[in-house]
Amino acid sequence: MSDIARRIDAANDEALRRMLSGEPVLVDVIPAAEAIPTLKDRMILHAGPPVEWADMCGPMRGAVAGIAVFEGWAPDLESAARLAGEGAFDFRPNHHFDAVGPMTGMTTIGQPVMVVENRAFGNRAYCTINEGLGKVMRFGGNDAEVLDRLRWLRDDFGPAMGRALRAGDGIPLKSLVARGLTMGDEMHQRNVGCTGLMLRALSPAMAETARDLTALSKALAFIGGNDQFFLNIAMVMGKAIMDPVRGIEASTIVTAMSRNGTEFGIRVSGTGDAWFTAPVEMPEGLYFPGFTEADANPDMGDSTIVETIGLGGFAMGAAPAVAGFVGAGNASEAANFTRAMAEITLGQNPEWTIPALDYQGVPSGIDIRRVVETGLAPTINTGIAHREPGIGQVGAGVVRAPLACFQEALKAFAKTQGVA
């Protein structure tokens, strides 16, 4: 084995060790401005690698207009869009601020964010609260109903969830996700099990710290009515797990995969904070009644952090029921996706196992070398937004990360090792 290969193996061992030894704990919900001091007025964090207004897709523009109205930076959606075009807002990726966001991924000062602390490494990560299904801002929704819900999350639900979490020592997520994998969740398009487990863990303290019973009832109904409530928690957990894996010299492990609706980007441990991007692909999936693929926006969101840690499409074998929902073929063949992803990853997660595969661990640690060698791009389970602003979710599907990102990353990585 060459010196370089040995160096890479040692670096990847360390990367996988850090990844698998993370101890993510959901500890708080606080205003984004407090959680992220570098997040300023009129700054809008979005999903994916950097993107400016001119290149943003429809739902991303819809969400930007909506969040500007929500924050009081514009009186209405039209003015907000005009202001955005004039450069009034500072657009930055969530990933540059220890944060992630689903689909359009809007994070701004006035929103509450959930805080996950990685107790093995001391870092924290942030994500907004999942808004529920249908017409919501993450899918580009921006009407009064959407903004009213965001206000309720800011003024009522977020503070209530924060009080409950601060009353205890936080909710450890690693064991909760391990149980979710025995309950048919893959933590991207299916979070039914983990949402119930989270409610079981959270509701006693929510009652203990509630200010009135009607508000509490509404908060419990909000969690109870949203099968995807846990998605944003899985995402912020993923960010908290992967951030300590960044910047390991000579490691070829992927530390983030993310899409802004226009471009797909990845980051690799050994190449630091650089993004390697390519145009996003179109998911292949199933559409809600009344919609077709002609309505679909290409792939979008920071939620691919879930695949980055071995869940989502990588854990399809744990979630046969999701296969039909995302149009991935027969439920009984869901495990094939998990088996394929084992070919591009460094190992298995011994704490996140799949009963139906006799407790095989989820494939963990995407190695850009193996992706390029095999031509097997990561499988991603995803929601699908309407391509126009203001409409919302139209379906769910499976999409592949573009191979070009991994090829570009491998070239840049080779340079760091003195290889042409």
The residue written with tokens 């073929």 in the block is 329
Q: Does residue number 133 form part of the binding site for a second copy (CB under 8 A)?
A: no
d(CA 245, CA 107): 24
**By CB under 8 A, which span of 123-131, 207-215, 244-252, 306-314 interacts with a second copy?**
207-215
Q: Where are the beta strands (DSSP E) in 10-132?
A: 24-31, 43-46, 90-93, 112-118, 124-128
> Which residue has tokens 């894996």?
245
CB closer to a second copy, 160 vs 391 = 160
Site for a second copy in 171-200 (CB under 8 A): 179, 182-184, 192-193, 195-197, 199-200
Strand segments, DSSP code E, in 8-54 are 24-31, 43-46
- The minimum distance between CB 182 and a second copy, in angstroms, equals 4
Size of the site for a second copy (CB under 8 A): 41
**Which span sits near a second copy by CB under 8 A: 35-43, 213-221, 287-295, 398-406?**
213-221
Query: Site for a second copy (CB under 8 A): which residue of 213, 294, 419, 420?
Result: 213
Binding mask 301-320 toward a second copy (x if CB under 8 A, else -) reads: -------------------x
Residue whose C-alpha is closest to residue 187's, from 362, 348, 335, 333: 362
Determine if 356 is a binding residue for a second copy (CB under 8 A).
Answer: yes
Question: Long-range CB contacts (< 8 A, 24+ apart) of 285-289?
Answer: 285/326, 285/327, 285/382, 285/384, 285/395, 285/396, 285/397, 285/398, 286/324, 286/325, 286/326, 286/327, 286/395, 286/396, 286/397, 287/384, 287/394, 287/395, 288/393, 288/394, 288/395
CB 265 within 8 A of CB 276: yes
**Under the criterion CB under 8 A, does residue 298 sit at the interface with a second copy?**
no
Beta-bridge mates of residue 384: 395
358 binds a second copy (CB under 8 A): yes
Q: Is residue 357 part of the contact set for a second copy (CB under 8 A)? A: yes
Among 145, 359, 373, 374, binds a second copy (CB under 8 A): 359
Amino acid at 409: A
CB of 331 to a second copy, least distance (A): 4
Considering only the stretches 29-37, 94-102, 270-278, 324-332, report the one whose residues sit in contact with a second copy under the rule CB under 8 A.
Answer: 324-332
Residues that bind a second copy (CB under 8 A): 179, 182-184, 192-193, 195-197, 199-201, 203-205, 207-208, 210, 213-214, 216-218, 220-221, 223-225, 320-321, 323-324, 330-332, 334, 355-359
